[in-house]
Structure formats: C-alpha cells, structure tokens
Amino acid sequence: MTIQMNAQLRWRKFVSNFMLTMTGVCALISVSVLFFILGYLVYHGGASINWDFFTKLPAPVGESGGGMANAILGSAKLLMLATLVGVPIGFLGAVYLAEFSGSTVAFVVRYAADLLNGVPSIVIGIFAYAVAVHPFRHFSTYAGGFALGIMMIPITLRSTEEFLLGVPRSLREGAMALGASKWKTIASVIVPAAYRGILTAILLAFARVAGETAPLLFTALGNRYWSSGFNEPTASLPVMVYNYAISPFEDWHRQAWAAGLVLLGLILVINIIARAVLARGIAVPRS
C-alpha cells in the first residue's frame, strides 16, 4: 500500500517537475526569438551599412550601390506629421477623460479608442486613401502622415489617461485649496506630475508607428527620388524594406537587411528610452 502511494507520489512529483521545466522552455524559446531576430539583422545588415546608405539616393534598377537617404528623410517627415496629428488629439482627449468628463462620455470615448487601436493597419490605410488620397487624386506625404497619426491616437490617449488618473488626489486638492482654477491645476500641477508617464506613452506610440508599412503602401506610396514638400509621394524606410526584400535583386536584398537593421535599431532604442524614462520617475501611485 505505502509502496504504491510512494510510486504515485513520485509520479506526481515527476509530472510537476517536468511540466514546470516545460514552461521554462516555452519562456526561453519565446524570448530567444528576439535575439535570433537581432542576430540575423546584425549579421546580414551590419555589413551593408555604410556612408552611402545614409547619404545617397537609390541606384537605378539593375545597378548596385546607392543608399536610402530619401527614405530616411521621408520617414522623418511622415513621423513628424503623425506626431502632429496623433499627440495633440491623444493628449488633450486624455485630459478631458481624466479631468472633465462624466462616466458615460468617458466610456464612449474609451470604447472608440480601444476599437481604433484594434483596427488592422491595412484598414487604416484604406481609410486614409479614401479621405486623403482619392479626393485629391494623388498620393502624398500628408496622407501617409495622417494614416500613421490616426494609429498614434489610441495608444497616446489610453496611456496618458492612465498616468493622469495616477496623480495623487492630495496634489489636486492642494492646488485647488490655494485657489487655482481647475485648468491651472491641470496645467501646472497634474500634467507636470505625470509628465514622465506621458512622455513614455508618446514615445511608445511613436515607436509603434515608426515601423508601420501597410498604411503607407497606398498613401505615401514610395519614391525613388527626393520628395519635396509634403504634397508628393515619398519613400519611407519600412516600405523600402518591403519593396527591396520582395525584389529579385541580390543587391537590393542586402540593402533590405541594412534598412531593416536601422529601422529595428531605432525602434528598440526608442522603446528602451521610453521605459527608462518611466523607471527613473517618481513611482506613480494608483488611485
């Protein structure tokens, strides 16, 4: 009897240890994917990054060499427009949700933001095409920036709101007790108290759209030359990576790896900075 129980207990302990080890293996596999990605990109892309990559236009089809200077500038312009669209709407909308709104309006706005966050990026692209390309009959940097900006709104809005709500009540009451009006309290006490969180939210939203390709395919399109102003189609790094990777040319594949490395490096660095900003801030207590 006891021997039998021992055997059963030993089996249960074996199962326990085995399954727990397996969960560790799952975690290891999942995390190692990141290092595989980084490793391959550095290995294949590192050798192809040179001065030309940052300073020259793409070489004509069939010739090797050239760079992606126009795509780098194009991405910068697109992201600038996206920030101009996404951050004010996301930030001020969050201020309304956290400080002014009643619960019904807040529910509707939050619901809309979550819905917007879940819309596939290609659908955002169709929308931007319908309102910013089709009526004007041409692709443009404006349309691409608009599409990316829409994607920034929900991420900025939801995290900013959370950080604003996390500001301790005592700070608000202190400011009000000194006779400050509500908007003065918000502008001079609440937002400064939450600024690290808000900055993190904006940086993460920026990093998220920096690598978006699908919404640019039929808004900013692409361009093998410099794009002047904001009213012309423009090249961008993610679209370049896509076009070069699916092309049949060996030299373009090499450049796709290089562009991918630059893009991923940028995004990971922004992510790490965003998290460092938050970690160094005063701990924000949840109300």
Site for other proteins, residues 103 to 122, rule: CB under 8 A: 105, 108-109, 112-116, 118-122
CA distance 270 to 21: 34
**Of 214, 31, 37, nearest to 121 (Cα)?**
214
Buried b (16+ CB within 10 A) or exposed e, 160-188: bbbbbbbbeeeebeebeeeebeeeebbee
Between residue 121 and residue 160, which ones bind other proteins under the rule CB under 8 A?
121-127, 129-131, 150, 153-154, 157
Q: Take residue 159 and report the two structure tokens written for it.
A: 């995290």
What residue has token string 């991405």?
Answer: 75
Q: Cα angle vertex 151, ends 199, 239, to 5°?
A: 110
Q: Does 249 bind other proteins (CB under 8 A)?
A: no
Of residues 7 and 19, the one with the C-beta less far from other proteins? 19
Among 178, 188, 192, 226, binds other proteins (CB under 8 A): 178
Between residue 199 and residue 238, which ones bind other proteins under the rule CB under 8 A?
207-208, 210-214, 217-218, 221, 238
CA distance 50 to 95: 45
Q: Does 34 bind other proteins (CB under 8 A)?
A: yes
Q: Does 84 bind other proteins (CB under 8 A)?
A: no
Among 136, 184, 188, 225, binds other proteins (CB under 8 A): 184
CA distance 161 to 240: 35
Between residue 40 and residue 69, which ones bind other proteins under the rule CB under 8 A?
40-41, 44
User: Residue 34 has what DSSP assignment?
Assistant: H
Among 2, 4, 30, 228, binds other proteins (CB under 8 A): 30
Among 52, 168, 231, 253, binds other proteins (CB under 8 A): 253
Among 6, 8, 26, 46, binds other proteins (CB under 8 A): 26
Q: How many residues bind other proteins (CB under 8 A)?
A: 96
Among 6, 64, 181, 188, binds other proteins (CB under 8 A): 181
Among 241, 252, 255, 284, binds other proteins (CB under 8 A): 241
CA distance 266 to 193: 28
Strands (E), the chain: none
Among 68, 99, 193, 220, binds other proteins (CB under 8 A): 99
Question: Going by C-beta distance under 8 Å and a sequence separation of 6 or more, which residues neighbour residue 36?
Answer: none
CB of residue 141 to other proteins, shortest distance in Å: 16
Q: Does 246 bind other proteins (CB under 8 A)?
A: yes
* Per-residue mark of binding to other proteins, 261-280 (x: CB under 8 A): --xx--xx--xx--x-----
Q: Does 177 bind other proteins (CB under 8 A)?
A: yes
Cβ atoms of 149 and 84 closer than 8 Å: yes
**Of 148, 127, 153, 139, nearest to 235 (Cα)?**
139
The partner residues of 282 in beta bridges, in order of sequence, read: none
